[in-house]
Structure 1
């Protein structure tokens, strides 16, 4: 018992002394609140299961413990209790159903504009992930940012996610759940910030040595401040060129950057026919620098060559018998 107490004291000390912030339990928008409510609902059921199982475990261990008066006791063979077996089979099924129904309903609801914001026009922001940076394109405002994104508070934001290279995972814990960004396809994520504030986001999908520092800031502003920021960018930021953009896509870490114009004018990475911007020769810190195959579909070519060599060997073997082997 003493060891158990020491374990829990140590665990709580580590959590508090490390300054651990449970951001997912501090939702700052309707999407995050839906996810937090779902997590809490699941925790209630999991806690109930743990309490009941441990209580039964302790009761059974105590009740059927070995005692001096039953040292030589041999229990008779008994048939299982059918009613009990039905009960302990049905209970887990009912618990799974109780968790599954709200989970499915919440997941489908998250694919739409959050409830209560249906009448508000969303702002569209294209998110392009690259090793190891986040690029945000505002097609309506015709501006682009790197490693930070400003949004108007109390307004739905339609994030359209894609990747210029490897697969990443876009996550802003205070505002919603994570969603993958993948090359030559597009995923969609709606988020809303209730109030102005600064929120931390990051990539949660391992995609190389630099992913740990692949973070960004979401700054929710009043509509007035957001409009003022957009005008300031238009007046002061340099224009994004295709050459500059291709330089940005190389696997590097960058600070914050702001541009006039967006790369959507010449490439949309969500298009299946778009150009690929990977640079395998630049991944020198992974032990394997990366290289492309010299021949198209090298794997098939290798198999065909082995197959042809095998057929040729069969022909040589059959020649002594006068056979005619035509191959496959």
Structure 2
């Protein structure tokens, strides 16, 4: 993505999210619907456009089914994934976001080497168009389940303070995940976890500093939605008024808006704001009626606003 496109996406995401937040503040949508509708604040962190999750709903489960059914050629897998652009976007975003989250949790260099070797093997197979031969893609659903549990645990941890029990669970989940990848999914990954110089258990130490970052937690929420939403989100939001406003907002983005005239060419107008029971509506007789000093309301207004009342019919 070029800088101009990225800037436009950020501007749009800011406006769109403000609009969605206003719907939530008025209770026109629920929290879950809001999560499905917002554009991530981390827009631009991936190599593909990050669409609102409701457009990507059910795409990852669909991609897993496609991967399970393809047995021979990478070309067929890529062709079927790219048949629906949103499925392709969802797959790329999930992969890149998962890597980002995993790397942020790693505290030990030896653990990082494990993830590096898995990533390098995967990307090499993609480059060589041997992904279907080198990986058991029908086992990917096991990985999806593990990541779903991992994300749920990460989001349960409070931003302040460490939950030792949950940290242990996270470490165990990461260990199980690496074993599934290297033993069940990769056909030649058995040696990746072997390290004679390792002084501690794999992922015995994890870094949870990122949990304090709202944008990072938002990534986890979004990724979990992409992994777990199996139904189409075509009816989101349910509220008819919210749907009407969204339709109006979307249509307004494509309207041919006329150019505004120069300020000097605009017709001016005045607004009178009543103060308590102050009268602001006067008849012609009231406007011409003189007070004890011989000054009428109309004369007073003409002196203060000479340009505004020069064409008034009461003058």
TM-score category, normalised to shorter length: under 0.3
TM-score computed with the length of structure 1 as normaliser: 0.21
Going by fraction, where is strand more abundant, 1 or 2? 1
The answer to which structure has the higher helix fraction is 2
